[in-house]
Amino acid sequence: MSDNTLGEYLRARRELVRPEDAGLRVTGVRRTPGLRREEVATLAGISADYYLRLEQGRDRNPSAQVLDAVARVFGLDATAAAYLRGLADTTGDRRRTAPRLRLERVPTGTLQLIDVIGLPAFVENRAFDVLAANTLATALSPGMRAGENRLRTMFLDRAEQERYPDWEAQMGGMVASFRSSIGTDVQDPAITTLVGELSLGSEDFRRLWARHDVRPLAGGSVRMWHPEVGDLELRREKLAVGGTDGQLLVVHHAEPGSPSARALALLGSLAAPAPTASRASGTSPACDPS
């Protein structure tokens, strides 16, 4: 990825804004997708030359007032506007250090929780690496397994994609949430490697990444298909894990009494470990006399 992340973001958002949505009257044929640079500058109340310098990366310290004005022109929501401000090096103190995103240690209490929660649950970090998962989560989808990366499996694993009937509709939100999750760490080597791999392996990811959409990390409804229990309508919750660098506990659940709840219960029974011979016969395992 280039070092001009602010300019790339401005250009991508500019090209997605329709002139009529910005209050401009359209006449004739326009060769430029979205808004022209001069139009953005006029609407934001800044000079065209200054806005050009921002897109080209020749000025990386715009004021908060300029950023807010540009955000209004682009119609950015609070999350996207905050992301824009994060990309702008307004303090002159953006630090580029060794990779920060890594397979962190999951707190013991969280590990214990996902083992007893009775629902598909896993923990992911800011790069969407799965750090820990319970048996039911992995039974629901092999991509929810410790050591996997959710973006990698969703974009590069055809079998994983088949488990999501609304795969195409969900992927845009997933990529936008990924941008929100990593924030300004787009130059982190771990992120650069992952984005490069996905860009080479998936045209869909490359197209969505180029949009520079940003959305908050939040739960939502998800439709899934499982080869053993069929269709499921689930709710996915994302809960922050305290004391970590952005880890999230992701839990799937269904409406109580619904067909999906019964399907999850069936999946749980199928995924449960088989009883040992001693338990099946009603006898207790031998105790170690030591």
Domains (range + CATH), the chain: 5-87 (1.10.260.40), 108-271 (3.30.450.180)
pLDDT at 23: 83
Please count the CA atoms within 13 angstroms of the CA of 122 that sit on its side-chain side.
24
Both structure tokens of 67: 């950023």
In tens digits, what is the pLDDT along the chain, a chain of 290 residues?
567 888 888 998 999 888 888 888 777 778 778 898 998 999 888 899 999 999 888 887 888 889 998 999 999 888 888 888 888 864 444 444 434 445 578 999 999 999 999 999 999 999 999 999 999 999 999 999 999 999 999 999 999 999 999 998 889 999 999 998 888 776 678 888 899 899 999 999 999 999 999 988 888 899 999 999 999 999 999 999 998 888 999 999 999 999 999 999 999 999 877 554 433 334 444 444 44
At a CB cut-off of 8 Å and minimum separation 6, what does 83 contact? 9, 179, 180, 183, 214
163: its two tokens: 């488990």
**pLDDT the model gives residue 93:** 45
Please report where in the chains the tokens 């030591």 appear, as a residue: 290
Q: What is the per-residue pLDDT for 89? A: 64
* Nearest CA among 150, 24, 258 for reference residue 142: 150
Beta bridge mates, 226: 230
pLDDT at 98: 39
pTM: 0.75
Report residue 184 CA to chain centroid gap: 14
